[in-house]
Structure 1
């Protein structure tokens, strides 16, 4: 057999071998279903007095739980300081509902340096407006998270506060329940 023929046959054999091996390889996992809802991101609020107020969210509702927003998981944190006075809190999510670019998340305060806040429910509302996000929180209407009334799951106030320019990166994944 001529050298060129041998090279062609060998090349064809390699192509067939690699093509067959590729088709025999296990198929990659099927794409995972999109989660039912989510709220993520961090931002600082604007206050003319210079308050340092930060909210961070990592809240998710799995696709398998899309009919029950109270099965949401994750955490969120908030802090509010002015000069040397203030407090922070970490919250375990107990409910997440989103619609379009608005999310309402609630949870139980699990850690805080605000006496009396641990073990109490709070709620926060986020309006994801790109560079002009807004936020609201249940204690605007119910009083301090340590002393005021506790809202029910997934309840908060309208997003009346402005996010400080250049800090908002909230992302709301809309919830599409089957109605």
Structure 2
């Protein structure tokens, strides 16, 4: 098992232990369709007393057929940070999504940005879905670093969202293992 796969497996196990709820496999919608295995959607602005305008938006999904492969997740996420004449944005293609209970970790590779040092870099974001009091964390590497954020890895959700802006929605993921 390679290092990245091990990291993804450990991250997934920690999230599941933290409180995965509900079946993320073919629980169905009552109309014969399988629900997706996991999802993270919504947007929010971060709270910053200095007046920074920081927004995160997610549309990340793991299909039911890919329940056991969080690196098969698809979608995008976007973030921006502006203050006065300073700032920038980035859009990333999702390359991994794990969720457990109301917590999600998503990673993606930046495909569009006005900050050239971010283009092609992987970034990781974590979200805690707490209704209108959501929290968010993030991991990325500085412009001169020679390392990369691994798939499915981010810091804990340490930032508060601005009051009234949190509408993140986390669909819990629970892998299905064969019976012993």
Shorter-chain TM-score bucket reads 0.7 to 0.9
Q: In the aligned structure 2, how far is the partner of 1:30 from the partner of 1:46? A: 41
Within the alignment, does 1:85 sit opposite 2:86 as a pair? yes
Higher RCO (CA-CA < 8 Å; seq separation 6+): 2
CA deviation after TM superposition for structure 1 residue 176, in Å: 1.2
Unaligned 5+ segments in structure 2 are 1-29
User: Match of 1:116, SS?
Assistant: helix
Within the alignment, does 1:155 sit opposite 2:156 as a pair? no
Q: In the aligned structure 2, how far is the partner of 1:125 from the partner of 1:157? A: 7
Query: Which structure dedicates a bigger proportion of its chain to helix?
Result: 1
Q: In the aligned structure 2, how far is the partner of 1:171 from the partner of 1:39? A: 6
Q: Partner of 1:172 in structure 2?
A: 170
Q: Partner of 1:11 in structure 2?
A: none
TM-score by structure 2 length?
A: 0.79
Q: In the aligned structure 1, how far is the partner of 2:95 from the partner of 2:37? A: 15
* Deviation sequence 1:60-89 (CA, Å, 0-9, x none): 000000000000000000000011100100
Q: In the aligned structure 1, how far is the partner of 2:92 from the partner of 2:85? A: 23
Q: Partner of 2:112 in structure 1?
A: 111
Q: In the aligned structure 2, how far is the partner of 1:36 from the partner of 1:58? A: 14
Q: In the aligned structure 1, how far is the partner of 2:144 from the partner of 2:158? A: 22
* Deviation sequence 1:141-170 (CA, Å, 0-9, x none): xx43x4443210010001000000000100
Within the alignment, does 1:45 sit opposite 2:43 as a pair? no
Which structure is larger by alpha-carbon Rg, 1 or 2?
A: 1
Q: In the aligned structure 2, how far is the partner of 1:117 from the partner of 1:176? A: 32
* Deviation sequence 1:104-126 (CA, Å, 0-9, x none): 00000001001211101000000
TM-score by structure 1 length?
A: 0.79
Q: Partner of 1:132 in structure 2?
A: 133
Q: In the aligned structure 1, how far is the partner of 2:144 from the partner of 2:151? A: 18
